[in-house]
Amino acid sequence: MLSTRVGIPLRVSVVLAAAALALTGCGVTSGGQNADTATAQVLSVDGVESGGVYADSVWAGLVQKHSAGVSVTLDPDVEPTPEFFDSLVALAWSVDDHEPGELTVFIRTDPSVDARVLAEGAGWSPPRYGFDEVGGIIFVDEVEERFGPWPGEPPAAPTDALILPDADG
């Protein structure tokens, strides 16, 4: 008889804990990849000199804010395309560490290429604030509309999305 009394409250506690995890978003997600895997993917692209993919959490008063992003520096004379910018957004969206409330993309090039032009060419609407010639914020609602719910499926490496300098020239 004692085991029944103990067993019912225990089962109820397990069910309530599982429900709480589901409601707070701490449950298991499908798709996605961790930031280290995403970083290795972007660094494997011919023409990418350095960079990384990250997922961060910071406290702003009593509110915890999550962000994800990618920052790359291209080899000299490598030219990014709007497709490359788009692939970086998809890559950052695939990072499943924390669901981001903010997503950022930064691309450094030599000679300089305006990241705003790349973003707009890929169909994104970068804000007037928080976005400059190197990059900045992409609206999460817009990302979810294009790539579906977070975390997105890890995209294929953007191997044809950079214009590499002519080896003969």
**Average pLDDT, stretch 18-36?**
58
- Percentage of the chain exceeding pLDDT 70: 80
**Average pLDDT, stretch 110-115?**
94
**Average pLDDT, stretch 99-123?**
96
- Percentage of the chain exceeding pLDDT 90: 73
Between the alpha carbon of residue 24 and those of residues 64, 66, 75, 99, the distances in Å are 13, 14, 42, 11
Beta strands 79-80; 102-108: pairing state: unpaired
Q: How far apart are alpha carbons 155 and 143 in whole angstroms?
A: 14
Q: How far apart are alpha carbons 116 and 72 in whole angstroms?
A: 15
